[in-house]
Amino acid sequence: MNARPVYSVTQINNYIKGMLDSDRVLTGVFIRGEISNYKVYPSGHHYFSLKDEGGAIRCVLFRREASSLRFRPQSGMMVVAYGRITVFPRDGAYQLYVSVLQPDGVGDLHVAFEQLKARLSAEGLFDLEHKKPLPKYPKRIALVTSPAGAAVRDMLRILGARWPMAEAYVVPCRVQGAEAPAEIAGAIAWVNAYRLADLIITGRGGGSMEDLWCFNDEGVARAIYASEIPVISAVGHEPDVTIADYVADLRAATPSNAAELAVPDQNEEYARLDYLKRRLAKAGGERLRQERIRLDRFSRCRALQDPMTWVQDRRVLLDYQRDRLTHALTAALGEDRERFARLAASLDALSPLKVLSRGYAIARGPLGVVRSVKDAAPGDELNLKVSDGDLSCTVNGRADSPGKGE
Amino acid sequence: MPTKKQLSFEDSMKRLEEIVARLDSGEAPLEEALALFEEGSGLIRTCSAALDKAEQKVHKLLPGPDGAPVEAEMEEMP
């Protein structure tokens, strides 16, 4: 034991570090595993472990490398990490210094896209209520795109053919590469700031997912969302869908399609004008025809042609009416007289005086008219009304009629 | 009723539709009907003329030194 040298901790850590650092495998290795304990430190460095069913390895992703990540690593995510394995001498632990981190299976762009889409969607940037209606006849259209591409030529050609009345403003910006997102977002904000248009089309022709990537940028998405001028997105070909497409007020499949959606077709407007012209002529002509017919009717009428005849006619009519009135009055009077006699007779028959003359009397006691033996008690004063006067009486006794009353 | 001339194309078309509908209904008194007919014919003339004489105008806009838009040449346009 004593023959062997004794190393300090630092010495042995450095020895191991030297071994690992000179190993050809460990200096550049791909490792597949599941992320766990993912943490971002205030320093900007990311710390996590990669694990599988058998074990785990500690990993560091320094701020510089982390800043080029296009997706957000999360615990539970399967990834492939590339880096070198070495020892961190202070605590004698080896770890993977990650320089490239990619989602396993799908590309990192894909994951980044889904993550951004989910985040912006949750924030409400894609909400339909936020979508602005497009002007039917835009007067000024800003094309936020590359001034050199085929896309801008297609759009100008179609805009010119369909609706030359709209002025087209090309607002040049790069649509590919690292500077593109800031330029696109800046151009949209600028067009808004100076109110340069009443409609914005932003997009580019087809390309790889990387080429179209600037339209998946959060800044571009927010610029479109913030735009008070309606925005049509027109990125790539039909199947390409970008974040910009989700935020835009209208998504066009291609730049050409955007131009078609942006303006009406002048041929259709000509046809519409023609139709309105015919209806106007018809409605106006019809109206005049009717007025002429009315006029004809008036002018054919006898009263206007020979006013004296009209007066004579009225005179005859007046005589005739007077006659009818007299007759009607006489007849009505005769009828009324007869009805009066009938009514008087029936009134007479109903009169209570008529009944009294046949020997009946009306007795009134303290409770009013006496209808029952219960309405008066012995000793009560009664007034008897007979046909020719009244009698005052006193009740001497009371007897119920057999079979009547209770 | 809109005042004087120079309605936008959009407003002209809208007004034209109104006029035709009003005339079609037959509710307008003759005086008004005649005035509407005349106005409608005028609108059709101006709208057609606007379509006829429209020529596409293309500008390239760049922010000037103060940020305000400055027009530039559209060099590589066909």
Instruction: Give the separation between CA A66 and CA A101, rounded to whole angstroms.
Output: 9
Structure tokens of A100?
């490239």
Give the closest-approach CA distance of B57 to chain A in angstroms. Answer: 5
Given a cut of 50, the residues of chain A with pLDDT beneath it are 405-406
Mean pLDDT across B28-44? 87
Judge: domain A137-264, CATH 3.40.50.620.
no
Q: At what angle do helices B30-53 and B9-25 cross, to 10 degrees?
A: 150
Determine whether the interchain pair A137/B9 forms a contact, defined as Cβ–Cβ distance below 8 Å: yes
Confidence at residue B78, expressed as pLDDT on a 0 to 100 scale = 44
Determine whether the interchain pair A196/B61 forms a contact, defined as Cβ–Cβ distance below 8 Å: yes
Which residues are paired to A39 by β-bridges? Answer: A47
- Is the pLDDT higher at B73 or at A220? A220
Helix (H) or strand (E) holding A250: strand A250-252
Residues of A in contact with B7 (CB under 8 A): none
Give the closest-approach CA distance of A147 to chain B in angstroms. Answer: 8
Under CATH, which architecture does the A9-105 domain have?
A: Beta Barrel (2.40)
Residues of B in contact with A286 (CB under 8 A): 26
Residues of A in contact with B13 (CB under 8 A): 269, 272-273
pLDDT at B76 exceeding the cut of 60: no
A230: CB partners within 8 A, 6+ apart: A132, A133, A134, A135, A198, A199, A200, A249, A250
Q: Are strands A78-88 and A250-252 parallel, antiparallel or unpaired?
A: unpaired
Instruction: Give the separation between CA A228 and CA A195, rounded to whole angstroms.
Output: 9
Please name the member of A170, A194, A273 whose beta carbon is closest to the beta carbon of B74.
A170
Q: Please report the sign of the dihedral spanned by the C-alpha atoms of residue A39, residue A45, residue A48, residue A50.
A: positive
Please name the member of B19, B57, B62 whose beta carbon is closest to the beta carbon of A172.
B62
Give the closest-approach CA distance of B66 to chain A in angstroms. Answer: 12
- Is the pLDDT higher at B15 or at A342? B15
A187: CB partners within 8 A, 6+ apart: A144, A171, A172, A173, A202
Instruction: Give the separation between CA A259 and CA A250, rounded to whole angstroms.
Output: 12
Q: Give me the residue label for tokens 């969607």.
A: A121
Domain chopping of chain A, boundaries: 9-105, 137-264, 267-300, 303-333, 355-394
- Is the pLDDT higher at A223 or at B66? A223
Interface of A with B in 250-309 (CB under 8 A): 266, 269-270, 272-273, 276-277, 279-280, 283-284, 286-287, 290-291
Residues of B in contact with A168 (CB under 8 A): 56-59
Please name the member of B19, B51, B69 whose beta carbon is closest to the beta carbon of A194.
B69
> CA of B24: which chain A residue's CA is closest?
A283
Phi and psi torsions of A223, nearest 5° = -65, -40
Determine whether the interchain pair A156/B20 forms a contact, defined as Cβ–Cβ distance below 8 Å: no
Instruction: Give the separation between CA A175 and CA A147, rounded to whole angstroms.
Output: 10
Residues of B in contact with A156 (CB under 8 A): 56, 58, 77
Query: Looking at the predicted complex, does its ipTM rise above 0.85?
Result: no
Q: CA nearest A125: which of A224, A198, A213?
A: A224
Q: What digits encode the pLDDT tens for the residues A109-140? A: 777 888 899 899 999 999 999 999 999 999 99
Confidence at residue A341, expressed as pLDDT on a 0 to 100 scale = 73
Q: CA nearest A109: which of A65, A68, A61?
A: A68
Which residues are paired to A200 by β-bridges? Answer: A142, A231
Task: Give the 3-state secondary structure of residue A313.
Answer: helix
Determine whether the interchain pair A148/B74 forms a contact, defined as Cβ–Cβ distance below 8 Å: no
Chain B interface includes A133 (CB < 8 A):
no
Residues of A in contact with B61 (CB under 8 A): 142, 169-171, 196
Domain chopping of chain B, boundaries: 9-72
Please name the member of A142, A167, A276 whose beta carbon is closest to the beta carbon of B57.
A167
Confidence at residue A1, expressed as pLDDT on a 0 to 100 scale = 54
